[in-house]
Amino acid sequence: MDYILSPSILSADFANLGADVKEAVKAGAKWVHIDVMDGMFVPNISLGLPVIKSLRKETEALFDVHLMIEEPGRYIDDFAEAGADLITLHAEATKHLHRAIQQVKAKGLKVGVALNPATPLSALDYVLEELDMVLIMTVNPGYGGQSYIAKMDDKIKELRAIINEKGLDIDIEVDGGISAKNVAHVKECGANVFVAGSAVFNGDIVSSAKDILEAMEA
């Protein structure tokens, strides 16, 4: 199993975004986590297609695009064209989850489904085999800098057990409150892709990213 750091650019300096991303990738991050918020599914508004398209020119890292938007199926083609490599949809944000998953797959991209902290794993019962990744939100989505919700340990463990029992090759990504202090513990619970925003970008980016990577590999 690969263990991957996916720094969230939500916490980067938007005036220096390309350079910040390059610093994180130079430190060893393989993915770049791009949070897209519409002000409807979550209260915040973040960034959109032009920013992703511009950033695509700056790095060959995998673009891990997390759509926190209502009815994301409306924009799958646009995000694919902008440079997404993996698109994650929220189970809570679409009336037709299976259809939206198939839209992403039809573009030749990897697909994930995200679950909010209060959303049960049963939301995945009829789509799990279609997925490349499940994103367990370990904070309530919408803002950076929140604290990890400890109860999500059990959710991650349960999901990893289900994936293993079914013999599936599916990544478990965690997003929210991840840092060098707790990443090893969350890894032990069964996650293998770690989103970190403020823990990477609020300070020396290379040093912070390397600290998390070293803790992941311990």
From first to last of its 218 residues, the chain has per-residue pLDDT tens of 899 999 999 999 999 999 999 999 999 999 999 999 999 999 999 888 999 999 999 999 999 999 999 999 999 999 999 999 999 999 999 999 999 999 999 999 999 999 999 999 999 999 999 999 999 999 998 777 789 999 999 999 999 999 999 999 999 999 999 999 999 999 999 999 999 999 999 999 999 999 999 999 87
Answer yes or no: are the C-beta atoms of 196 and 8 closer than 8 Å: yes
With tokens 């990544």, the residue in question is 171
Q: What residues are annotated to the active site?
A: 35, 175
Burial (CB count <10 Å: 0-12, 13-18, 19+), residue 120 = exposed
Contact indicator for 218, 197 with CB cutoff of 8 Å: no
CB atoms within 10 A of CB 122: 8
d(C-alpha 7, C-alpha 152), whole Å? 20
